[in-house]
Structure 1
């Protein structure tokens, strides 16, 4: 087979569609045309026996669809077996969505592998079982597992770019899944089924999508193709491993809507692995909370979010920034980081728990059922304060609205005026000047010393292009770009002054790719100190250790390699490397997107502290509006390469909203199962066409004037001294659309 992806992320749902004559029934393989199109399955086929009429019938509803019992998993690390999952038990009921949450490294993905019967290289299942339809998946031969994975259990992986083969058209990849697992008897039947699947997952023009390669699709479209592939062979269980982590909020909202619709219509059971608590609050029926390879709490979602009993669950929920929170937001309750090398024989959370006693360190606490469907592993569950009481008693600077004052409000550190930036493409004749492809057009803003300006928008809106233009990485940049009143940022990076290179630093999104895996932490941080300041010897070591202390890493990290660090620790090293140059401005490009919520909280706290102490300015690029609201002084909303709203964080998150800002805020999942999403979030998704209207957002705007918005460029409307938005709709009319009232039933 051309790609291994075809086997693992395949498996699909039973789709009720009309088929041409001569096609056999997908349930019993007999020839029949009497298919029910109401979504009930094969009830219209007279040849199907009762068991095949409803794959999720009464027999399956009497017990779990899959159950993990006493699972213990070891990995071979540093010449010994290290336990990563210990005595874990978990089950999923038919038509149920179970969420699995926890910090990075807690064992979520390893648990998901056990539900698939998959053993990663260097791992062993020391004990336990995964029971599915009376069989233990951990002891089945590969041939039997192949059939189950292909027809009854499917996988939606985190990264669709690596899951899809780049050399095969996406339609043919789904056709191959259907043929490999013998779900369809002919290629023509498989093609028809594929087109239907693409339509069912909400992809426009399935015929065109069928013939495209993965790189010709957006991230959200690629993820929809993966979901269609996962549904191709009618699975009973779908394992979703961080399926929306790399997606912007609007694309994520679309995928969540799709999954909830599929689950409700076809009764699919799902295991949803994520660190995004806002997502599980919207989509899951029950939630399991993992810490250091152990299950510490399992409960229905309302009890997890409203009455969590384990201190770790309470801290995890408290660490989530709330998009709807008032100015003084709840404090961060989690302290420190997960360190597996320092776990006690008792409760693994004891070293970070403020309520731990001697018994917690010494004795292992099993899960104890304290209410129907609610189990917790904590010796002090009855004596610690309630979650509501702890939240009411504590306040801190973390995840509050940023109150760090701008150190020099009357000065301008970075001035960007009428920025046009993009890429170039070669013409047929080599001697002719390359043609520019403009991504960002007419963007203007400024940043003052010690200020944080956040740029928000969907994937493809031009945020990263702005950062690359400021760093001199793009071949086409025009406009006025002045830094510190002295430097012209339209110059490419190889023609820039050495001082400018030092004072303007970039922190990349993925520390795995930006840190050299063959260099120790000391070499990574020490390189800027050697290049810009000529430090060496004891002075160099002292400065490196000081920088490690600044980012809250102790001296033990001095000689470590990046692969020996967690994701949050690697990002701290990347920040320390940028700080080593003593910059005036740091460009932070999605620095939190791949980190779990508690690590995000620590990084945000670190950035705020460094800004207050060093007076560094940040250009903070993100699609996480809740974090932006807590960190930024000012916010710029970017759509299709153009700014549509600029103001202070408080102003941008308060009516009147630009229509695009309204849709962005509507799409953010809140970590509260009682707070519903408005219908407006379904009308989302970046639309880019060759025929760009005068207002870039006119193609999607719910309040547009069809004649005016498409033909006339919208004017800037001054709401206050610092707040402007670009729209034809009068301000008073925009004030009537309050996202907070629509979502939460009250105005801010």
Structure 2
């Protein structure tokens, strides 16, 4: 292997947080990467790992700048590239799979148009048509019905499906360097395994250098030969993955490894569910996305064929002060279920009741108090936070709208909410782009709880959080539930998290319920083969660290 493929020397990156105020995100970091090597970068939210990852693409977020050092790829410092050189470099020589796929996809363009544009730009079709090449990439990502996905828009895909689309986009020109920033955060374990296998095969075929940024240490253990451990912008440990994970030198690394969630040790530590009426109930819920437009005369005369159901005959109940965990593979209908309850989409059949009263229609048609009582925390925090607002404005606004608080009182309450999620008051003056993915998610959680809701719809709320921050966030959510009697619909592909948070679990496959019951029963004696496969997939993933330890011992 060529040790000089990538060399980082004394790299320093800072963010401007105010007049003559800067925060160092990457602090004098130096290391090298061999051609064809897989390097993992791990650390808590805000440690600088994503900022470092973007440097390989010669990119910084607005408000950030390189304050020193170099990033050389094949002997050339990419930080000195001009606009034309950067255009040729990105995509062809280096590509990135971002953490938040929705923010990387243009909402008014179909998935097919996204991929065809890249294929034509990089002349990557070969002897195929651009459309055929795009369909081939979608099929390689194990996406269901690639032809249908090709014609859909980003908002019509699940979070996991969108993530696989951006991975496909990064693979278009088969670049020699791929940076993956939390690439499998939105994926369930079975799909994660397929995607990682695919990336691994590509690397072996092309000798691609891979850089994984992740808080999922199981993924790092599986994919990476070497790992960097970061904290406060500095590299604390750098060495072979097996050595770092089995014999960490620092207390920080030891704490990260100890915090890895394991299904076998997950226990329901929340308050007991008290006998009570349902806060939310659904009966025989069906939903399918409409295709085409009925707004035009042609659309009314020639309506398109009805699409298959995304949800079919869904019935559930969530008592007050309890949590229903919803699990299933990407595209199973989990996020669509939450969107219907939140009033983000309509057109469903069946009945939904909230606090004993019928619930229907879009959120814009509901009164203010009902909107306050039902809040949603989205999977992609970057797409749900106004980029032009500060954190203070984002949290203060619902406090003023729902409770009529003064600016000063609302600001104090916003600082309290952030503190409950381990974010200090200094974050009030920052904008979303100045936050890490995990910090953005905690701001989104604080905003949701600002309204003192009775029902919170949690769509992969911990997917962007490292294991230590995840533990503190889950603890805060359980405390808030205990204090306010809040009910949660908790969507996640992380089974240990679901097991810890949930009184009941509902398992979805292709819009159909496969298992539904109390948490202990579903996890210990599942009735469907599908649920058994989900459990087996996670147990396999959680063995990656154990396997490395065993190999190291041998």
Shorter-normalised TM range: 0.7 to 0.9
Check conservation: 1:219, 1:247, Cα contact below 8 A. Answer: no
The count of aligned residue pairs is 534
Secondary structure of the 2:261 match is coil
Q: How does 1:445-456 map to 2 (within 5 A)?
A: 445-456=316-327
Q: CA deviation at 1:403?
A: 4.0
Check conservation: 1:76, 1:122, Cα contact below 8 A. Answer: yes
Residue 313 of structure 1 corresponds to 253
1:93 aligns with 2:18: no
Give distance in 1, aligned partners of 2:244 and 2:412: 46
1:417 aligns with 2:283: yes
Q: CA deviation at 1:278?
A: 2.0
Question: TM-score, normalization: structure 2?
Answer: 0.80
Give distance in 1, aligned partners of 2:43 and 2:429: 29
Residue 299 of structure 1 corresponds to 239
Q: CA deviation at 1:120?
A: 6.3
Q: How does 1:378-457 map to 2 (within 5 A)?
A: 400-406=267-273, 408-424=274-290, 427=294, 428=298, 438-457=309-328
Deviations 1:135-181 (A, max 9, x none): 444446666666665655444444566657747746644543444xx
Q: CA deviation at 1:310?
A: 1.3
Give distance in 1, aligned partners of 2:388 and 2:73: 43
Give distance in 2, aligned partners of 1:71 and 1:503: 47
Q: How does 1:601-616 map to 2 (within 5 A)?
A: 601-616=471-486
Give distance in 2, aligned partners of 1:240 and 1:441: 35
Secondary structure of the 2:544 match is coil
Check conservation: 1:422, 1:440, Cα contact below 8 A. Answer: yes
Secondary structure of the 2:532 match is helix
Question: TM-score, normalization: structure 1?
Answer: 0.62
Q: How does 1:189-268 map to 2 (within 5 A)?
A: 189=127, 191=129, 195=133, 198=136, 202=140, 212=150, 215=153, 218-219=161-162, 221-231=164-174, 235-268=175-208
1:652 to 495, 517, 522: 522
Structure in which a larger fraction of residues adopt helix: 2
1:108 aligns with 2:49: yes
Residue 631 of structure 1 corresponds to 501
Deviations 1:214-248 (A, max 9, x none): 748843552453243141xxx44333333333334
Give distance in 2, aligned partners of 1:137 and 1:543: 44
1:471 to 342, 347, 357: 342
Secondary structure of the 2:524 match is coil
Give distance in 2, aligned partners of 1:206 and 1:529: 42
TM-align CA RMSD: 4.2
Secondary structure of the 1:476 match is coil
Check conservation: 1:75, 1:83, Cα contact below 8 A. Answer: yes
Listed as ranges, the gaps of 5+ residues in structure 1 are 1-60, 328-399, 678-743
- Identify if the C-alpha distance between structure 1 residues 169 and 100 changes in structure 2 by more than 3 Å, giving closer, same or farther: same
Check conservation: 1:159, 1:243, Cα contact below 8 A. Answer: no
Residue 326 of structure 1 corresponds to 265
Give distance in 2, aligned partners of 1:498 and 1:122: 36
1:274 aligns with 2:214: yes
- Identify if the C-alpha distance between structure 1 residues 112 and 549 changes in structure 2 by more than 3 Å, giving closer, same or farther: closer
Residue 504 of structure 1 corresponds to 374
Give distance in 2, aligned partners of 1:660 and 1:206: 17
Larger relative contact order (C-alpha < 8 A, sep ≥ 6)? 2
Q: CA deviation at 1:293?
A: 1.7
Give distance in 1, aligned partners of 2:208 and 2:405: 61
Q: CA deviation at 1:659?
A: 1.9
Listed as ranges, the gaps of 5+ residues in structure 2 are none
Deviations 1:170-213 (A, max 9, x none): 6644543444xxxx8xx864759984994798268999869946
Give distance in 2, aligned partners of 1:119 and 1:247: 26
Give distance in 2, aligned partners of 1:317 and 1:441: 40
Check conservation: 1:106, 1:291, Cα contact below 8 A. Answer: yes
Segment drifting more, 419-428 vs 101-110: 419-428
Secondary structure of the 2:193 match is helix
Check conservation: 2:441, 2:464, Cα contact below 8 A. Answer: no
- Identify if the C-alpha distance between structure 1 residues 223 and 435 changes in structure 2 by more than 3 Å, giving closer, same or farther: closer
Q: CA deviation at 1:475?
A: 2.8
Secondary structure of the 2:10 match is strand
Check conservation: 1:586, 1:619, Cα contact below 8 A. Answer: yes
Secondary structure of the 1:413 match is strand
Q: CA deviation at 1:502?
A: 4.0
Deviations 1:455-490 (A, max 9, x none): 1122322222222322334332332322333x1113
Check conservation: 1:198, 1:228, Cα contact below 8 A. Answer: no
Secondary structure of the 2:480 match is helix
1:83 aligns with 2:24: yes
2:512 to 642, 665, 689: 642
1:586 to 424, 439, 456: 456
Secondary structure of the 1:583 match is coil
